Structure 1
């Protein structure tokens, strides 16, 4: 059960998110086509499910009554004309709150929280019976989700967080993959991705680079690596120094650092590219003299922008590649670049993995 600061506050009024940081993954559609157009383009067609005929056995680690409750959530979303991505956000959130179980107890953060979404007795979520009813509680969740400005272009865990107000906005992230599997199994539709594509994307290092390895993943890095635990906000691609770095997509260079070649602190020499719609890519640990672009320069997808190195806090030549989706190049706004690129047709998991990686694999 999620430990929310203000679990289920009933955020039914519109939550205003500045346009710069909403992390739109759907381009101009959100602003000129409205939410309905964005849904049609990005989220996949909605499906329906039969709660009385769910798959036998486990799907994504859930089974039986849990899958039946997921079917109620799916159908509540469909009844509101929401798309498959929204349905999946609903299932993901309920997984994170109650493990898809209609629970009749709360926790320290919300002692009065009840039901699939752990909704509180504050008047925003209806009566006790409403909160304990899978269809009504899901409908109330979706109505609150629709009140979040730009919800359909936010990272799923962030969209859920604006409704649930979890203490950790990334709490729901780990439930996205099983939620997509459950929704696909219940509806017979293809699983949806985190977001929708914005033009062509490529791997920042050519996938056929000799000796290329994934040396670490996005996620929680244990303390033994550098002396303290922290969030590793990208994927590490190990390769020899001087390997060409490619722009992962077209965009504008907004930051370069070129004077950290001798430093063994921080990110070292780096490049940040703005791809529009709040999406930024960052390339760390570039070698001295290896940054070949300048601030303000327009780059095209796959254009060589630099060469790999070992600058900054680095234990060997590699590229640390990070993606941000809401215009803020800080760790708490980073997303898993492997999942991000996979949704855009680029599979970094075809790269061999170094057996001594410290962060749990996301491949």
Structure 2
């Protein structure tokens, strides 16, 4: 049986980053991925993911974000390709809504430069938007997006260059801790390590029993639409955004990679189930839901459909992450589920996982992400 210092199970955003951070520290690392490297079955495809510093979800995320930005810049320099794109960000919704007030709270606590704009000001400054009266938005200039698919490949390329061993198309069947070691059983063999990082996204509860019923996969759909006025939706003129409306909570990107405006809806059609059972095929109902929001709030982007793509969120009840050691098995380190807002943190979470796997204390307060809170 092959023996490693650390095995990483699942090589999406978090796992690929952990492989790189461990390998650069001289650890003997094995990364195992059930699907292809850079696959379309999980949570990180669809070209890019938003990154933003004015974090409405909780001010405790902001220190992590500051480190994430630094690591994304380091990674793109080492990889020789741009991964982080700055557009500015808008957190928008009805005046007094949780998106606006949460963003303002993070800005105030962490001294972030920002501006509070009313709907008319947003629409005039960024004419790709059509916010209704009574809405407002927090503009923060550091927001943008990370090229998520390219970032995973960059992390794994750097990891391999630093000596990591990567296995794709190999399904992990069990993670078996015991006597201070861990055995990972797959459909191709058995491997042993002192530590295992489980970052299996929508499949994490299959391997970490205490997450059963607490890490719930949900089907999401992204849409790209051809703008009527493409110049309004370039990265230079259209900041990434979160927009809370009476129809739901939407998130938006400028045209990049695919020549179309990109939009998604948190919790989409509220379709939950096992990750293997959720459809990855977009439907007319998916398209209609997204198009209605484009027509109302981004009318100059309401052109022909260019692409639809389904992905997964894996949600906890409070929609905060899990970054912790498994209960009763400190050799098993659990990363994610990220509840649909995790990829931007992948660079720093990989570093944190490497700390935990090498018995270092991460320089962050991780209490918000404890496993124990889910048992309460």
Please give the TM-score of this superposition, normalised by the length of structure 2: 0.24
Q: Which has the higher strand share?
A: 2
Radius of gyration: which is bigger? 1
Please give the TM-score of this superposition, normalised by the length of structure 1: 0.24
Q: Which has the higher contact order (CA 8 A, sep 6+)?
A: 2
